[in-house]
Structure 1
Amino acid sequence: MLGNVEMRSVSPVFVGRADELAVLHDALSRAAAGEPQALLLGGEAGVGKTRLVEEFATAACRESTVVALGGCVEIGADGLPFAPFSTALRSLRRQLPDEVTAAADGQEAELARLLPELGEAPRRLDGRHDEEGTARLFELTARLLERVAADRTVVVVLEDLHWADASTRHLLAYLFRTLRRGRLVVVATYRADDIHRRHPLRPLLAELDRLRTVRRVELGRFNRAEVARQLAGILAAEPDPTEVDEIFERSDGNAFFVEELAVAAQEGCRTGLSDSLRDLLLVRVEKLPEDAQRVARIVAEGGSTVEYGLLAAVARLPEDDLIEALRVAVGANILLAVPDGDGYRFRHSLVREAVSDDLLPGERSRLNRRYAEALEADPTLVPADGRATRLASYWYHAHDAAKALPAVLHASVEARGRHAHSEQLRLLERAMELWDAAPDAVRDGLRPVDYAEVYPPCGCAPETTPLRYLDLLAEAAVAGRLCGERERALKITKRALHLLGEDGDPLRAAWFWVQRSLLVQGLARGDGWKELGTAQKLVRGLPPSEVHAEVLAMAAGWSMLHEPGPEALSDAQRAVEYARMVGAEDIELNVRLTLGTLMVDAGDTEAGLAEMYAVKEQVEKRSLATLVGRSHVNLPSILEGVGRSREAVTVLREGLEFTRKMGLSESEAWVWRNLSESLFSLGEWHEAAEAAANAMRRQSARPCGGGAQQLADIERARGAVADAARLLADARAFYGTHDPQPQNDLPLATLTIGVAAAEGRLLDARDELRQALDSGFPPGTQRFAWPLLLAAVIAEADARGLPVADEGRAEVLSGVFETVKKLTTGAPVWVAYEKWVRAELHRAEGVLEPGTWSEVVTAFESLERPYDLARVRHRLAEALLVSGADEEGRDRATELLRLAAAVADHLGARPLADSVALLAQRARLTLARAPEPSAPAPSDPVEALGLTSRERDVLRLVAVGRSNRQIAEELFISPKTASVHVSNILAKLGVSGRGEAAALAHRLRLFPPGAGERLPVGGSG
């Protein structure tokens, strides 16, 4: 009876697709060579995407490639968060257990959000949401895949992207944008005919199309010859040409419909078929026995895959009858057993959709209720990572608000714990929809402590307090902000504030105004101060609370970036005090970083740095991800601001290790940006350029702006003015105009002045200076103000004598002079800059006084800033020569120019090198050292400098940038002894700092390439 029904409809012969397979195999070859590949495979339903992937995977496995498949899971039109990634990672772990374990080492808890088998994901117990949690999870996932694919080729296939949840789409986009290394191929498939104009996958496809690293493969339908070959494979015989013509015409070349029509024709149903191909799919199901049809309908409503135990509980058939029904459905190629599990799915989703659409409304609700009841009775029927979402979906589609509301809320908590904030937001919006429909007794039984992570206004909620609608709004506002749905989140905060009204809870209202401030800034609609000001007014005069502390902390942080000063310092101090009173340790640590910064800005440098170092130590011990990132960004920034660049580099190197290990991609980008700035100050320009480029490779706009700004600085100093101008424009675009901050705007203004002056646009440089002077320099901005003033007066001094420069110069110089009198110095580096600016002011007026420039040189000789020192040495030499120096003075000028030339050559600072050479030529000075005629030159250039064996080893390490501590560790001596050796070397070389010593060593080629690697120990101390 079942003979015809059990006929195989899948062709054993793989037909066509040569071009598409060639693209896939080319990607595999490129990946095997270490170039990760990303492909999008699209095509209409039934066109053969899965079959193509299976063919490719089979061929890849024959080449010892590891293939991991994961599919997006649909449950009643809901996607399961991260389902394809979880399935693929589970497959990788099963095939490569040791490799995955090693790749996840140290981050098992975070990665457990995607792969629970790695451990238990951490849950925050302090009521504070994780601002960088999603980005951290994405970064760790990308790096995990790169590490697993480091020594072997790995193919990850993610199927049915048209069903993907938003979090899966975001993770896929992140992965495609950031894959940089590893023998990895990622293939994602989607159903092209389902991607209508408003489908959520459409924007992602458009975004990925713009990436040069992503290839799109569109799978077309079969032509008539290919249909004939497919039919021959299905029928195991050459088909009749008339039959081929008819099936080709009816299927229009769709591979799946060719199969279905072939089976129908073999069963003798050709003349009785409906014109609708969808009806054709139902005809095949309706030919099954009644029990098999019933099981098919149950499976269709259960999701894309249904576990056997759950199916048995819902079907309520005797086990023998159920197995027989399944055997018939599988034999008819309607259902398939899941290869890696104990469940069943439809062989093709088109059939499942047809069966599901054919269900009656009451029938659908009843099946969802039975699924929900079965799952509640035995939660072990489905995997743990999908249980909450599936239960929520079943109850929701069963139209039972009393059961659905708590299930949906529980699913939202699970989604939040996995950083699937898009799904969390969708579930919370569903909970809001169910809120009024649920009975009062159900709502009163819900507790904030179970379902809410943010608890305005007091940081915690008594267990006796019922969950309120405003709690849902608070959760949804944060979820919307964290997943990038800022418009939706803004509407939610507006709704919450409307419900609170004028007489509502001021603390809760203040909390929502803080959220609005963050959202306004995120949407580039302002700087957020108006909203923060409203929050401050609401909490003023109220007893200490967590919200009060957070509002003060936010205000202090905003002021630190925009308007630093006494008021910001006061806000930070009160925020620390309030946070301590209410036990909000995270807020306290965060605002203490702000407080330390403001203390340094106010002149209390050592105390401020001590505060920041103390916070850094605490957050490292506790592995507080967000604060670890901020401490390794803000602290070195302040160190650089007071001229302690070498110390800043040490902290930044640590920061790279921490941020990489913890997956803090945005913080890592800021660390790279700040590292570039400090390396530039230290004269390590090649490494500075690499660090800036690394900052620009990240996804966040502002770190990219910082990286572009740093590269522009380097290119300007090297004389590549056109490149500097282009990078300056890039930096401005990255920063935007909606949220001006001195730390961004002033360096950009300095660059603008420098580029304009280099291009001969003095009037444009003056306009930029005038705008900066009009805006003023609040406390804490001196680190940006001094370079800006210096660039302006250098431009004026260099343009002296040009007709365009005379008019207006006096006004410009007067404005700078008045600003200099008011600007804070404090740190030695800014004392040096003050002397330099004053000397340039004199030069702009035609006065070159050797005594003045000698003071500037002396000020910079105590600092490790070789480029700046070389520039002021050049000016001192010029002053000596212009003043009519005697022979001794000319000798001194020659030595100064020789040292400046060595640094300029080493750094590639062409404008400085040209200026030094031109001055030497005009003064008829010879910069090359003449050999001593009285004695033959030593064959060893190091010996010629009078260095001992140990000093030779120390200089070799200085030349590659080692610190005293690193030198001591490498040579097994004490840091104090290393310091003494360095001092002796500087004296013998006649240089003032380590940077000059390194430059001289490179210039004289004292050590062969690679000589800076680990040295043999020994020799005298």
Structure 2
Amino acid sequence: MGKTRLVRVAADEAAARGVAVLWGRCVRFGAVDSPYGPLISALEGWAESADPRELADVLADVPAAGGLLPSLNAYTSSSAIRLLSVVDALVMAIASHRPAVLVIDDVQWADLASRDALSYLIAGFRGQQLSILTTYRDEELGTGDPIHSWLADLRRMPSVTGLRLDRMTWEETEQQLAHLLGDHPHHHLVDDVVLRSDGNPYLSELLLEGVTVGDEELPADLPAELRAALLAAWHRLSAPGREVMRVLAVAGRPTSIDDLREVAATRGIGSDALTNALVEATDSGICVAQGADMCWFRHPLLAEVLYATFVPGEAESVHAAWAKTLESRTATGPDEVQRQGDLALHYEGAHDLESCLEASLRAAGLASGIRARREEAIHLRRAARLWSTVYGPDSAGRADTAGRADEGGRADTAHRADEGDLLERVARANELVGEGEASFAAWSRALELVDERTDPLRASRLRRRWADSAWATGRLSDEAIVEASRAVELSRPYPDSAEYAEALAGLSWRQAWNNDVEPAREHAEEAVLAAERAGSSAALSLAYAARGCADLRNERSDGDTATALRSAWKTGDPDVLWRTLVARRNYLLQRGGVAECVEPATEFLRFALDVGALSSAVFAAGILAKDLLILGRFAETSDVTRQGLALACLPSPSAMVRLSAASLSIRQGSLDVAGMHLQRANELIPALEERLGLVAPPVLAEYLLATGHAEAALDLLSRTLTTHIADPRDADEMLMWGARAAADLAESARDRRDGRSLRTTRAQLDDLVVLRARLSPPPFEVITTEDLIQPAIQALFTAETARCMAKMPTSGAWEDAARRCGAAGLRWEEAVASWRWAQALLAERAPRAVVAVPLRSAHHFAVEVGALPLQQQVETLAGLGKIQLGEPSAPTYDEPAGPFRSLTKREQEVLAHLVANRTYAEIAQSLFISEKTVSVHVSNLLHKTGTTSRREVAALAIRLRQSPTDVD
């Protein structure tokens, strides 16, 4: 309560210090979602007031801004921009010129696209000169409101903090009244205000209308309930003033004064009367100006309260007047989507349902054109809801899906087909944005409408898509095979059809997923033949992908999955592309090709974001983040998880992104953040560790180990390993993590001299190894010699097992693990193994120069990627071993100073090591030369520079800046 005023004061103070303030307000009552509405409003407001030079600089940085901001008059219908990227670029460009504050007021009413954009901006915080302030009213959020989930996600981001404004106490209300009345109020008056406002500062202010500081209580006739309190100031307006405010309430959103004047005229209110009414309402604090020509209620809830003052049927004529006014206007881009959406709202309010449906379809088409997929889905859902009312058997009108009247009328079957077409659009649009339940409902209704006898191909397609949707929303498991088989039988009489090929591919895919390999192969072969006969790119993609997945061990899978992906790109269909990308990735992963998976996944993620396929984009972000983590590319992982976290989506892909974000947070030392990500993932997918495809146990085990719960990690891995044998490589990764957990437990038991715990831990690891050995294929199986990852994971398992069993020496096992991980590109695991290798070498009393090599390698990586825990572990070990970790760098100069002009390249390298305080043994180890050769080079250095000791020549080099001075 009092949130808007609090933020306004803070923003005003910031503006006075030169901070750019971008203020956007969300609208609740009656407004149809318009993509990025409050953000566009905030940016437009900034553009209006910005210094011309600053505006020009920002717009030069963001050439696509014209496609977002109508005031720039640069929008073209052919603009193919991704609005989210433009919003992000504009906000960041503004913040790059000077500190900026972005305010979004009443975010509980924000459109979904704006919430996505806010999530994206917040997830991308990297120390910019930017603050984002959002306000919301929690008392207006009903159970199940989607914003609960959105807020829960935001609270788990490290840069987010919350401030709850509680209702005011008696003392705080007294302070407010003293401020408003100019002096301390009577305590009875304070009692009265507290009783009636319940500590709501806005209601307290309204209740003081007409009250003076000398009054001891509120007037007896003032209401105490919210509705009456909101209406109190309105009731004091003149009759024309009250009517103008009611007309404004029907508008549903801030509106131009010209539009309001036109509608008010239909109610008998002339131009002068309107102006007087607006002045009166503004002076009474009811109405506020928004920009030069817009107006709206100071408190948006008043719009809803005033709308309720219309008796049944009375508002229809006002809606009709608003619709007529909007019909005469034109707009482009997002503004035109909003205009058509508002038209639909007013047509529905005027009970002109056919026009409402037509406007909804136009709005959906326009939203699709600018790739505002969430808005497209919203408008299509409204159209589907109205269809049976407008064009049902008892309706007077007949129309096709574009809204054109059919003079002669059509058969009911034709209308059912038209509705079926619309429902398929609804289902696909909602799938794109991750609205799984809405999509499933549309597929279900479309399936009910189709007649399998007269339209078997449509029935086949719908049954297949319905089964996919049912599975995605957690409704089907084994029954999915039944539905896929039925789709095949329906299309079998049409062997040359794309539907038949796609149904066969779908059946094969599900059989392969269930490890029913032979039928999967047979149906995939048949699917490829049917797809080639059909000549459909989509059918070819799905058929070749199915054959590639039916036997991943067959080398033909390489050509099949590559062909599938090439054909999929021709379709431009995100769903087809995603399925074939997964097939290609599965093939590559079976051969250790993690690095080869990154480029196609990155390309698909860009494509999915550009076309607004948000659900597929989150899936792609999840798998790409996992692959990048494996390769130790932390900065890229952070960028990808940011994109995934910003998008609300189906539970599975959202949980996948959360798992990668948690693992990254663990490795960078943010355990609280990791815990929040895992908590959210478990809310999305209960029993997260059991869900196939997510491979959550390794991440959960990593978190448990990092937080000192190795025993729980080992128990978790032992309990879930059998479940995840569907992909043997996942089970092998879990086996390695089991050995790592057991090694931590064993080390702890040895430190405590707890022999019993040590024996129990070793027995648990033995049981886990035996459990994996009983499953097929054998552990760490390598399909092809090109696979370097499985041998690396096996080497890690061997080294961790040796650590658990305390088999001395263990340095050889860790050296093998580090080298194999390095060869496989597993930079994170290479660094961990290098740290363990140095640890083992130190325990085995190896020379300091030998220990330093792997230790410095691990330290270099940890510093590079910000892996703080590993960095601290390495530095602690270096301190114990008295090892310098700074990496020497060869001197760089254009014109060497006199004493150093004659140095050879090798002598320069030796000089760099001397500056880094390396011993002769360490220099020899690093440069792969003998200590005697090092001594010769040092003698030459001393002779050429006229110095007498290694310390003197190093100091001279530092003074003359012939070698870096920032060595650790």
| TM bucket normalised to smaller | 0.5 to 0.7
Aligned residue for 2:136?
Answer: 190
Quick one: structure 1 residues 59 and 640, their matched pair in 2 at CA, closer, same or farther if it must change by over 3 Å? same
Aligned residue for 2:38?
Answer: 84
Quick one: structure 1 residues 539 and 141, their matched pair in 2 at CA, closer, same or farther if it must change by over 3 Å? farther
Quick one: structure 1 residues 351 and 726, their matched pair in 2 at CA, closer, same or farther if it must change by over 3 Å? closer
Distance in 2 between the 1:730 and 1:201 partners? 14
Aligned residue for 1:61?
Answer: 15
> Which residue among 89, 95, 105 is the counterpart of 1:159?
105
**Quick one: which amino acid aligns to residue 740 of structure 1?**
L
| Alignment of 1:302 onto 2:255 | no
Q: After the TM superposition, which residues 728-807 of structure 1 pair with which residues of structure 2 at under 5 Å, given as runs?
A: 736=688, 739-741=691-693, 744=695, 771=722
Q: CA deviation at 1:387?
A: 0.7
Distance in 2 between the 1:343 and 1:763 partners? 63
User: Would the aligned equivalents of 1:103 and 1:148 in 2 still touch at CA under 8 Å?
Assistant: no
**Quick one: which amino acid aligns to residue 82 of structure 1?**
Y
Count, aligned residues:
816
Aligned residue for 1:519?
Answer: 469
Aligned residue for 2:338?
Answer: 386
Aligned residue for 1:542?
Answer: 494
Q: Describe the SS at the equivalent of 1:493.
A: helix
Quick one: structure 1 residues 506 and 694, their matched pair in 2 at CA, closer, same or farther if it must change by over 3 Å? same
| Alignment of 1:906 onto 2:861 | no
Q: After the TM superposition, which residues 512-911 of structure 1 pair with which residues of structure 2 at under 5 Å, given as runs?
A: 512-525=462-475, 529-530=480-481, 531-545=483-497, 547-548=499-500, 550-551=502-503, 563=515, 585=537, 601-604=553-556, 607=559, 642=591, 667-679=620-632, 699=645, 700-705=654-659, 736=688, 739-741=691-693, 744=695, 771=722, 819=778, 824-827=783-786, 829=788, 902-903=853-854, 906-907=857-858
Distance in 1 between the 2:378 and 2:929 partners? 68
Distance in 1 between the 2:166 and 2:124 partners? 26
Distance in 1 between the 2:684 and 2:304 partners? 45
> Which residue among 299, 302, 307 is the counterpart of 1:356?
307
Quick one: structure 1 residues 59 and 692, their matched pair in 2 at CA, closer, same or farther if it must change by over 3 Å? closer
Distance in 1 between the 2:69 and 2:538 partners? 23
Distance in 2 between the 1:403 and 1:744 partners? 50
> Which residue among 432, 443, 447 is the counterpart of 1:497?
447
> RMSD value over aligned CA atoms?
6.9
Q: CA deviation at 1:214?
A: 2.7
Distance in 2 between the 1:252 and 1:496 partners? 50
Q: Describe the SS at the equivalent of 1:149.
A: helix
Aligned residue for 1:365?
Answer: 316
Q: CA deviation at 1:630?
A: 9.2
**Quick one: which amino acid aligns to residue 182 of structure 1?**
Q
User: Would the aligned equivalents of 1:593 and 1:615 in 2 still touch at CA under 8 Å?
Assistant: no
| Alignment of 1:311 onto 2:260 | yes
Q: Describe the SS at the equivalent of 1:511.
A: helix
**Quick one: which amino acid aligns to residue 54 of structure 1?**
R
Q: Describe the SS at the equivalent of 1:388.
A: helix
Aligned residue for 1:216?
Answer: 163
Aligned residue for 1:476?
Answer: 426
Q: CA deviation at 1:59?
A: 1.7
TM, length-normalised to structure 2: 0.63
Describe the superposition over 1:649-703 as per-residue Cα deviations: whole angstroms up to 9, x where unpaired.
8888999999999996663553343233235xxxxxxxx5666677666533224
Q: Describe the SS at the equivalent of 1:508.
A: helix
Distance in 1 between the 2:382 and 2:713 partners? 61
Q: Describe the SS at the equivalent of 1:362.
A: coil
User: Would the aligned equivalents of 2:68 and 2:86 in 1 still touch at CA under 8 Å?
Assistant: no
Q: Which protein has greater RCO, CA pairs closer than 8 Å, 6+ apart?
A: 1
Q: CA deviation at 1:72?
A: 1.7
| Alignment of 1:227 onto 2:177 | yes
Quick one: structure 1 residues 272 and 569, their matched pair in 2 at CA, closer, same or farther if it must change by over 3 Å? same
Q: After the TM superposition, which residues 392-431 of structure 1 pair with which residues of structure 2 at under 5 Å, given as runs?
A: 392-417=344-369, 423-431=375-383
Quick one: structure 1 residues 559 and 289, their matched pair in 2 at CA, closer, same or farther if it must change by over 3 Å? same
> Which residue among 388, 401, 407 is the counterpart of 1:436?
388
Describe the superposition over 1:273-327 as per-residue Cα deviations: whole angstroms up to 9, x where unpaired.
5546755766765665555444333222222323233223323379994134323
Aligned residue for 1:325?
Answer: 274
Q: After the TM superposition, which residues 900-979 of structure 1 pair with which residues of structure 2 at under 5 Å, given as runs?
A: 902-903=853-854, 906-907=857-858, 949=905
Quick one: structure 1 residues 900 and 646, their matched pair in 2 at CA, closer, same or farther if it must change by over 3 Å? farther
**Quick one: which amino acid aligns to residue 86 of structure 1?**
I
**Quick one: which amino acid aligns to residue 673 of structure 1?**
K
Aligned residue for 1:506?
Answer: 456
Distance in 2 between the 1:807 and 1:347 partners? 70
Distance in 1 between the 2:711 and 2:9 partners? 64
Distance in 1 between the 2:712 and 2:3 partners? 60
Distance in 2 between the 1:64 and 1:194 partners? 35
Q: CA deviation at 1:395?
A: 0.4
**Quick one: which amino acid aligns to residue 450 of structure 2?**
L
Q: CA deviation at 1:338?
A: 3.3
User: Would the aligned equivalents of 2:99 and 2:130 in 1 still touch at CA under 8 Å?
Assistant: yes
| Alignment of 1:338 onto 2:338 | no
Quick one: structure 1 residues 750 and 443, their matched pair in 2 at CA, closer, same or farther if it must change by over 3 Å? same
| Alignment of 1:148 onto 2:94 | yes
Q: Describe the SS at the equivalent of 1:705.
A: helix
Quick one: structure 1 residues 573 and 351, their matched pair in 2 at CA, closer, same or farther if it must change by over 3 Å? same
Structure 2 gaps, min length 5:
406-413, 646-653, 748-757, 863-868, 874-902, 913-924, 931-953, 964-968
User: Would the aligned equivalents of 1:443 and 1:466 in 2 still touch at CA under 8 Å?
Assistant: no
Quick one: structure 1 residues 151 and 554, their matched pair in 2 at CA, closer, same or farther if it must change by over 3 Å? farther
Q: Describe the SS at the equivalent of 1:361.
A: coil
User: Would the aligned equivalents of 1:149 and 1:182 in 2 still touch at CA under 8 Å?
Assistant: yes
Aligned residue for 1:683?
Answer: none
Q: CA deviation at 1:491?
A: 3.2
Describe the superposition over 1:724-769 as per-residue Cα deviations: whole angstroms up to 9, x where unpaired.
999999999998356524x9489889999x99xx989999899789
**Quick one: which amino acid aligns to residue 163 of structure 2?**
R
Q: CA deviation at 1:379?
A: 3.9
Q: CA deviation at 1:474?
A: 2.0
Distance in 1 between the 2:605 and 2:580 partners? 12
Q: Describe the SS at the equivalent of 1:216.
A: coil
User: Would the aligned equivalents of 1:66 and 1:154 in 2 still touch at CA under 8 Å?
Assistant: yes
Describe the superposition over 1:221-241 as per-residue Cα deviations: whole angstroms up to 9, x where unpaired.
5623421321339xxxx9999
Aligned residue for 1:97?
Answer: 55
User: Would the aligned equivalents of 1:70 and 1:88 in 2 still touch at CA under 8 Å?
Assistant: yes
Q: Describe the SS at the equivalent of 1:412.
A: helix
Q: CA deviation at 1:604?
A: 4.9
Q: CA deviation at 1:469?
A: 1.6
Q: CA deviation at 1:149?
A: 1.9
Distance in 2 between the 1:100 and 1:370 partners? 40
User: Would the aligned equivalents of 1:112 and 1:120 in 2 still touch at CA under 8 Å?
Assistant: no
Q: Describe the SS at the equivalent of 2:631.
A: helix
Structure 1 gaps, min length 5:
1-42, 125-132, 451-463, 680-687, 716-722, 879-892, 915-946, 957-984, 991-1006, 1017-1021
Aligned residue for 1:446?
Answer: 401
Give % identity.
22
